[in-house]
Amino acid sequence: MMPTPETVFDPALDLELRREVDVPPHLVWRAWTEPELLMKWFTPAPWRTTACELDLRPGGRFRTVMEGPNGERHDSTGCVLAVVPQSLLVFTDALGPGYRPTGEGFMTGSVAISPTATGTLYIARAVHKDEAARKQHEEMGFHQGWATALDQLVALAKTL
C-alpha cells in the first residue's frame, strides 16, 4: 500500500497537532471544506478569516485572507494537493492553482480525520522544507494557534 501524505512525518521538519475531539468526522470535514464555515473558525481570535476560496480537487485553489486586530492582513493563495472525502485534505502554499509554483511557499498542510468511539481523531500537520522553516513556524505559535483554531472548529461544529 502506498503511504498517504498524513503518514509521512519527520519531527525535525514537521509540526503536528493530534487530538481526539467530541464531534463527528462529517462535521469536522464540513468545517474544513465549506468556505463559509471555514471562515468562522480558521484563524485564532482576535484574528479573523475574511475571505476563503476552496476548490476541492487536486490542483484547485485554496485561498484564505486573514486579518488581525491592528489592521494586519495576510492573503494566502495555495493549491489543494489531495482530497479523500471525509478523511484527508492536503494543501500547500508552495504551489498555486493548477500546481503553478508560487516561489513563496512556507509549508504543506494536511488534515486527517477518522472516527473514534466518541468523536473524531484529528491530525493536522505542517510540513516544512527545512529545520529553520519548522522552527520559525513553531516560534510563530503553531501549537497554540492551531490548537485554538481547532477549539473554535469544535465549538462551531457543535452548532451545526
CATH of the domain at 55: 3.30.530.20
Q: How confident is the model at residue 5 (pLDDT cuts 50, 70, 90)?
A: low
Copy the grid coordinates of residue 15: 509540526
Residue ranges making up the domain that contains 124: 5-157
Provide the whole-model pTM: 0.92
pLDDT score recorded for residue 138:
96
Q: In the chain, how many domains are there? A: 1
Give the cell for residue 78.
495555495
The conformation of residue 70, written as its DSSP 8-state character, comes to T
Give residue 6's pLDDT band: very low, low, confident or very high (50, 70, 90): low
Give the residue, 2 or 59, on which the prediction is more confident: 59
**Stretch 133-139: mean pLDDT:** 95
Cα torsion angle, 152, 86, 74, 52, sign: negative
Predicted confidence (pLDDT) per residue in 57-112, tens digit? 999 999 999 999 999 999 999 999 999 999 999 999 999 999 999 888 889 999 99
